[in-house]
Amino acid sequence: KYTKFSISYYWINSLDQKTFIYSRVENVAIPSGEENKTAALSYDHRIMPLENTSSTGTYYCEVKWNDIQKMGKGMFVLIRDTGYINTSYSWEILVTLTVLLAVLSITATALLLWKRK
C-alpha cells in the first residue's frame, strides 16, 4: 500500500500563490523480511537556476500516498539581484561612536588636568 507514492515540489510567493516546480511518482520495492518495518528515504531535488527576484518565497516538498498527504515545513529562499550590496551601517556606527567617546574622554581629562594647575 505504501510502496507507491508521489513527491511534489512547489513554492508559495509573497502573494500566497502556489507554483508547482516538479513532481514524480516513486515505486519502492520492499526487500524480503522488511515488510512491517518503518523506513526513511531521502530524496534531493535541486532547483536551478533561480532566475530573478520574483523567485523569492517559501519552497515546499509534499508526499502523497493513497490516503495520506504529508508536507514539509518549507524553506524560505530570498533571491537578490547580482551586485546587491547590503546597506547595514552597524560597523561604521560602532567605530564612529567609539572614536567620539575617546575624543571626549581625552578632552575631559585634559581640561581637568589644566584646571588643576
Q: What is the pLDDT of residues 68-100, one digit of tens each?
A: 899 889 988 887 776 666 777 778 888 999 999
Which amino acid is located at 2 in the chain?
Y
Question: Omega before 31 cis (within 30°)?
Answer: no
Handedness of CA 53, 54, 59, 62 (dihedral sign): negative
Question: What distance in Å separates the CA atoms of residue 77 and residue 62, rounded to the nearest whole number?
Answer: 17
Kindly report, residue by residue over 3-36, the tens digit of the pLDDT. Answer: 888 999 888 877 888 888 888 888 888 878 777 7
Using CA atoms, how far apart are residues 58 and 60, in angstroms rounded to an integer?
A: 7
Tell me what pLDDT residue 49 has.
63
Q: Count CA atoms within 13 Å of residue 45 on its CB side.
A: 14
Segment (H or E) for 39: none
